[in-house]
Structure formats: C-alpha cells, structure tokens
Amino acid sequence: MPRPIPVSLGEAPVRQSVKVEPVLFSDTRTVNLQLETAAERTLSAPRAGVVTSIECAPGSAWASGAVPVTIDSVGIPAIHLAYPPWRDIDIGDEGPDVQALQDALSTLGFQVNADAEYDWSTAEAVQDFFRSRGVEHDQRSVSLSDYVWLPDSSMVPVSCPVAPGASVAPGSPIASLGEEVVGVLLVDRPRDLYEGPRTLTVGTAVVPLTDLSRVSEPGALATLAATPEAAAYRESGGKTEFTGRLELAEPRQLLSVPAGAVIGAGTDETCVIDDGRSVRVRVVASTLGSALLEPADPNSALPEHVDVARVGTSSTCS
C-alpha cells in the first residue's frame, strides 16, 4: 500500500495569497542640466574720483544698504531699487523711481510714506539713511552720484576690475557679476514621467518646476545659480558635469507586488487578484521580481492582498 505524500512535498496551490503594503513613489530621475547665460553684468561707479577703498572679494555679496566702496574718501552706499534709476530726485518729483526709492528705504527700516511722491518726509528718510551709514548728506535731493545701484537686493561679484588708488569715471565698472543666468535647461529629460507637479533638486537646493524643459522663474533661477554645482559648471566653461534630481513634488502611494501577481501586464487588461476578485491596475514601474501598481480607477482603493501565480500557471482578468 503506497505511503501518503507529506503535505510539504505535495503539489503547491496554483495561486498563493500574500499581504502587500503601499509604498511612496517619487519617480526620481537624474537629468543633465545646462545654464543659459546672457551678457556679463557689472556694477558701476556713480561718480568720478579715486577709489580709496573697496570691499570686493569674489563670492562676497554686496547687499542693499551696505557701503562697499569709497571714492575720494566718501562712502558710497549700495541700494537695491526695483525700478532702474535714471535721474536725480528732488522735492515734488513723482513716479515709479520715487516709489522704488521709498520701498528701498522702508525695507531698510526707515519710516516713509510709499506714495511715489518725493516729499519732505522722504527727504528726511534719505538723510537718515546716509547718516546711519556714516555718510554726510545734507541736501534735500538724492543724486545718481550718491549711491551704487543694485538691480537685486544682494549681488555677488565674481571679479573686481579696480583696486584702491584706481581712478574711475561715472559708469566705470567697479565689480563684475559675471554672465547673467537667464535659464536652466533640462537636457534629455525622460519621456515616461509619472504625471504630476515636480521639483528639481541641485545639491541641497530645491525649486518647483512649472516647465519640464527649462527653468526661467527668477526666484528659482537665483536659487539654482547660487549652488556650488552651478558655480563649478560656470568656472569650467560648461565642461563639468551639471546634474539635478527630478521628482514628484508630492510622492504618490502605490502598491509594490511580486511580478507573479500581475496578470496581463503590458495590455489594456491588466489586473491583480484579491481574494478571487479581479482589480484593474496600471503598472507604473517595475524592477526585477516586483512591480509598482496603482488602481486603473482613481476612486478604487488599493488591495491589501494579492494572489501570486505559481510558476508555469496562467490566469486572466475576469
């Protein structure tokens, strides 16, 4: 009489149910980057004379309100104005340049009515600003020769063409800011990206993306241009590798399942079996031996168990 076959040696079930857990999916990709630059920018001397001191170490920022240079022993403050200055301003003048001056004074902590009219209170705030920087300023007006204009609130020179003792004329460059970064191109970005808002990470800097081919938003550009990676790329003339990490702004919750649980992969009829119930899914990504899935119907919940087929068997979605 034949002996019974032990359970451990008997034929395995056609499908075995396994518990699965959701995972967070960021769809992280590495992309090559290129900097788009425009003509070199400079900061200019506002008046003629001899440079008697200048704080211009490459990489050290000139901030609005600082006094980075003296000409003929007179301190010349740097001021960020959102509207390009084009004239001397006196009592009664009005316009966007006056508004920009008032906004700059307010940002630096001086009380002023930001109404785009240069009145006596604005003139007093101007005098207080200059005196707080150790610069005598007794006139009621403010002249183009009184300050260095900063297009941004803080600007970092990459070189300094003048040194103490050099003679300068109005408009002479006293600090070079290098080529202006006007864009960051994402080169050869993947075409099979998971849909959704994304971020770009370079080093420790993270910026949101509104365009998956080019970064052009001023704030994001300033953040990326200030990274050591961008600086190394520029210093090498574009020969140094410049890469970033492209990923979803909000990771998605997907299901990681054994590859044998997926039925009809690569077709319009893709599913998994949960306790005998067919659940339509979409394969988002796959690795050796496993697949990342999401429900075909966004309103459907992810299953907690899936059936894994035994090697050599097949099933269909019902």
Pairing of strands 198-202, 205-209: antiparallel
- Tens digit of each residue's pLDDT (9 = 90 or more) over 196-248: 999 999 999 999 999 999 999 988 998 998 899 998 888 888 889 999 999 99
Backbone angles phi, psi at 38, to 5 degrees: -110, -170
- Asked if 175 contacts 43 with a C-beta cutoff of 8 angstroms, the reply is yes
pLDDT surpasses 90 at 5: no
pLDDT surpasses 90 at 300: no
Angstrom distance (rounded) from CA 203 to CA 219: 17
- Tens digit of each residue's pLDDT (9 = 90 or more) over 44-73: 999 999 999 999 876 688 999 999 999 999
> What b/e string do you get for 48-85 counting C-beta neighbours within 10 Å, with b at 16 or more?
ebebeebebeeeebbebbbbbbbbeeebbbbbbbeeeb
> Half-sphere exposure of 15 toward its Cβ, with a 13 Å CA cutoff?
22
pLDDT surpasses 90 at 89: yes
The whole-number average pLDDT for the span 93-106 is: 97
Sign of the C-alpha dihedral computed for residues 102, 103, 109 and 113 taken in this order = positive
What domains lie within the chain, and their CATH numbers?
Answer: 7-25+252-309 (2.40.420.20), 29-38+180-248 (no CATH), 46-171 (1.10.101.10)
Helices (H), the chain: 96-107, 120-132, 218-225, 228-235
- Tens digit of each residue's pLDDT (9 = 90 or more) over 232-242: 888 888 889 99
Backbone angles phi, psi at 49, to 5 degrees: 150, -165
Which residues sit opposite 277 in a β-bridge? Answer: 274
Angstrom distance (rounded) from CA 152 to CA 219: 11
- Tens digit of each residue's pLDDT (9 = 90 or more) over 103-136: 999 999 999 999 999 999 999 999 999 999 999 9
- Asked if 315 contacts 273 with a C-beta cutoff of 8 angstroms, the reply is yes
pLDDT surpasses 90 at 138: no
pTM higher than 0.95: no
